[in-house]
Structure 1
Amino acid sequence: MKDISHLREEYARMGLNRHELHNDPLKQFDLWFQQAVDAEIAEPNVMNLATATADGSPSIRTVLLKGYDHDGFVFYTNYASSKAAEISANPQVALSFFWIQLERQIRVWGRAEKVPQAQSEAYFLSRPRGSQLGAWASPQSQSVAGRELLETRLEEMTQKYAGGEVPLPDHWGGYRIIPSAYEFWQGRPNRLHDRFHYQLTDDGQWDIQRLAP
């Protein structure tokens, strides 16, 4: 086994106290997200999305957050992808954001549901044309014989929609993650990190607890 135990960082930029937290976790998320943007972190909207099959077999991948509000967190994908199949079988998912420059992590748990088609179409039409064509060309998550097939499909789509608008594919659209829990993590020295967990209660309020690191 290759020994990489010497790779470690001591986190000491700042702390996180209960009185500094918003009672509304979305407001806390928005504050930290804006601070990540202001710190010029590359692609602060990168997030890990964890899904599981109906029998509990997990998988995780990186996607891009494209919008958020009190209704949840939105990303877009191919509805024929493996992630979409897992969401269909088990809509309970988890998200995580990690901004190493700020020594911060946010975790979100919730239920995924498709956004309305009109919302998917509005976003799709705002994408670069190459991305629109790529959504038509790529049979996401399916086995392909080689890259040449993808490039051929892209050229076919380029010719098909030459001079006109690229329409929204039936197999492409957005998901909204409706949160039921959040965790905000701030790195601290000696691995005594600050962790605060928000849990949505039956009466629609957020219970906030400090967790041991």
Structure 2
Amino acid sequence: MSDTSRNIAELRKSYERAELSEDASHADPLQQFDQWLAEAIKGEIPEPNAMTLATVASNLRPSTRPVLIKGYDERGIAWYTNYDSRKGVELAGNPYAALQFHWVELERVVRIEGRVEKVSAEESDAYFATRPLDSRIGAWASPQSQVIASRTALVTAAAKYSAQFLLNPPRPPHWGGYRLVPDEWQFWQGRKSRLHDRLRYRREGDAWVRERLAP
């Protein structure tokens, strides 16, 4: 057993930065998320827009990967990717997924669960047009999640599409946005002695029910 393996069980941290009470939190989870995300951005947390996306394949094996939030409103949480990627294939077979934000420096976690749908083609086109040119070319060049022969093959494909499209690559038909429509939110604030604050919002009809969960 390595020293790292032996010592990892001894790692400890006391969470004492903030608290999360029912009285001080918003009744609407979207407003609570908006506040926490704004505080993460203001606090210059590294990549505050990064979230972990969890999906489940047809064989019931889960998988996770980091993606970047690109928009949110009362309709849900949006991100963009390759529809033919592993996550795209898994979402096509099982449209339910989970998202997690972990803002370590603020000792906060947000978990979101719900059904995933594709955003409209118009929304995907509009966002794609705002991406840097290299990223738009990359969307054509990368057969995401597929086995490729080498990095050289990837670079060669990028050069090919760059020459083909020049400065105006269109959005690939296999690339676009997803939106998770939440039916449950959880907000976790680290507290001393592992007595963390954990509030869950669950959809009940047209309303949100807020309740405290044991940590």
TM-score category (smaller protein): over 0.9
**Structure 2 unaligned regions, length at least 5:** none
> Amino acid of the residue matched to residue 88 of structure 1?
A
How far, CA to CA, are the matches of 2:104 and 2:61 in structure 1? 29
Q: Which residue number corresponds to residue 149 of structure 2?
A: 145
TM-score by length of 2: 0.96
Q: Which residue number corresponds to residue 210 of structure 2?
A: 208
Task: For residues 130-169 of structure 1, give each alpha carbon's deviation from its aligned partner in whole angstroms, at most 9, with x where no partner exists.
Answer: 000000000001000110100100110111112x411000
User: Is 2:50 the partner of 1:46?
Assistant: yes
Q: Which residue number corresponds to residue 126 of structure 1?
A: 130
Q: Which residue number corresponds to residue 118 of structure 2?
A: 114
User: Is 2:188 the partner of 1:185?
Assistant: yes
How far, CA to CA, are the matches of 1:174 and 1:204 in structure 2? 25
Q: Which residue number corresponds to residue 172 of structure 1?
A: 175
How far, CA to CA, are the matches of 1:147 and 1:5 in structure 2? 38
> Amino acid of the residue matched to residue 150 of structure 2?
G
Which structure 2 residues correspond to residues 48-127 of structure 1 after superposition, within 5 A? 48-127=52-131
TM-score by length of 1: 0.97
> Amino acid of the residue matched to residue 5 of structure 1?
A
Secondary structure, counterpart of 2:9 in structure 1: coil
> Amino acid of the residue matched to residue 47 of structure 2?
E
**Structure 1 unaligned regions, length at least 5:** none
Q: Alignment partner for residue 194 of structure 1, among 191, 194, 197?
A: 197
Deviation of 1:54 after TM superposition, in Å, equals 2.8
State the number of aligned residues: 211
> Amino acid of the residue matched to residue 170 of structure 2?
P
